[in-house]
Amino acid sequence: MRNRGAIVIIENGRVALIKRKKPNTTYYVFPGGGIEAGETPEQAAIREAYEELGVHVRIQRLLKVLDFNGKQYFFLADIIGGKFGTGTGEEYTHTSIERGTYEPIWIDIDDLPSLEVRPKEIAHIL
pLDDT at residue number 23:
84
pLDDT at residue number 101:
83
Over residues 73-94, the mean pLDDT reads: 87
Q: Is the pLDDT of residue 91 over 70?
A: no
- Give me the CATH number covering residue 93: 3.90.79.10
Q: Is the pLDDT of residue 65 over 60?
A: yes
Q: Is the pLDDT of residue 94 over 70?
A: no
CA dist., res. 90 & res. 65, Å (int): 25
Query: What is the domain range of residue 76?
Result: 4-125
Q: Which amino acid is at 78?
A: D
Q: Beta strands 117-118 and 25-29: pairing type?
A: parallel
57: which strand partners? Answer: 79
CA dist., res. 57 & res. 118, Å (int): 21
Give the chain's domain count: 1
